[in-house]
Amino acid sequence: FDRHQECGHCRGSGARPGTAPQRCPYCGGSGRVVQSAGFFSMQSTCPNCHGAGVVIRHPCPQCRGSGMVPRRVRREVKIPPGVDDGTRLRLAGEGEPSPAGGPPGDCYVFIRIRPHPLFEREGQHLLCRVPIGYAQAALGATIEVPSLDGRQKLEIPRGTQSGDVFRLAGKGMPSPGARSRGDLLVQVFIEVPKRLTPEHQRVLRELADIENENVSPERESFFQKLKRYFQTG
């Protein structure tokens, strides 16, 4: 990031080397002027030196009299676990220098989280969509799903419908400043094969005849389930 630092050419004085800032003749070096109106008087910033108390007759060619020059610096920033998008981190003393030799300010780093190819985030919970086959949904199965800790086993019960959501407790994002973690919510969807062998077609036709092509109504959407999940805790 860019910030201002003391000019090395004039050592922060703002004056050309070999010269020096001079006391402001308008305010006598106080940086303030007093204006009187009858019985009342009012102090204001000196219009000649703008409150600095000194004037620079021969400004430094490098900083043009400001005493500061822009510099690009690099700093390592430790990202704590579980930070969310928009989190602000403070780097103490890494900001702009203060006038008149005061302590420097701070630099604030705002976190922007890139989208993940597998997970979506809802607070400390993670959402993941996983495909399963017809037989796995109908007969039940044990599948492996991705997580932040590697692969996890998930039991798929018999009769699972496309869009059903399963929860793996404590497999989500860590909570900042705490030892707890959110959950991993796995939404399964039945993957329809694009190419079927003759044997697959025969079995599916027999199944359709048995069910009399009675297809159940569409399941409620994934986001409706999530909304109910978060409302009920």
Answer yes or no: is pLDDT of 220 > 70. no
Claim to verify: residue 123 and residue 224 sit in the same structural domain: yes
Residue 18 lies in a domain: no
Domain CATH code at residue 146: 2.60.260.20
Claim to verify: residue 102 and residue 125 sit in the same structural domain: no
Residue 145 lies in a domain: yes
- Cα(156)–Cα(166) distance, rounded to whole angstroms? 9
Q: How confident is the model at residue 98 (pLDDT cuts 50, 70, 90)?
A: confident
Predicted pLDDT of residue 222:
54
Residue 202 one-letter amino acid: R
Predicted pLDDT of residue 107:
96
Claim to verify: residue 123 and residue 166 sit in the same structural domain: yes
pTM exceeding 0.75: no
- Cα(54)–Cα(28) distance, rounded to whole angstroms? 9
Sign for the CA dihedral angle at 171, 174, 179, 183 comes to negative
Predicted pLDDT of residue 42:
87
Predicted pLDDT of residue 225:
59
Residue 28 lies in a domain: no
- Residue that is last in its domain, among 113, 143, 172: 113
pLDDT tens sequence across 18-64: 999 999 998 988 889 988 877 788 889 999 888 888 999 999 999 98
Answer yes or no: is pLDDT of 66 > 90. no
Claim to verify: residue 88 and residue 107 sit in the same structural domain: yes
**Number of domains comprising the chain:** 2
Residue 46 lies in a domain: no
- Residue that is last in its domain, among 64, 95, 113: 113
Claim to verify: residue 194 and residue 137 sit in the same structural domain: yes
- Cα(182)–Cα(6) distance, rounded to whole angstroms? 47
pLDDT tens sequence across 99-108: 767 889 999 9
Claim to verify: residue 141 and residue 216 sit in the same structural domain: yes
pLDDT tens sequence across 112-159: 999 999 999 999 999 999 999 988 999 999 999 999 999 999 999 999
Claim to verify: residue 103 and residue 137 sit in the same structural domain: no
* Segments forming the whole domain that contains residue 85: 75-113
Contacts of 66 by beta carbon, 8 Å cutoff, 6+ apart: 7, 14
DSSP state of 101: G
Claim to verify: residue 196 and residue 138 sit in the same structural domain: yes
- Residue that is last in its domain, among 89, 113, 137: 113
As a whole number, mean pLDDT of residues 213-225 equals: 54
Over pLDDT 90: what percentage of the chain? 58
Claim to verify: residue 94 and residue 143 sit in the same structural domain: no
Residue 202 lies in a domain: yes
Residue 4 lies in a domain: no
Residue 135 token pair = 């037989």
Answer yes or no: is pLDDT of 187 > 90. yes
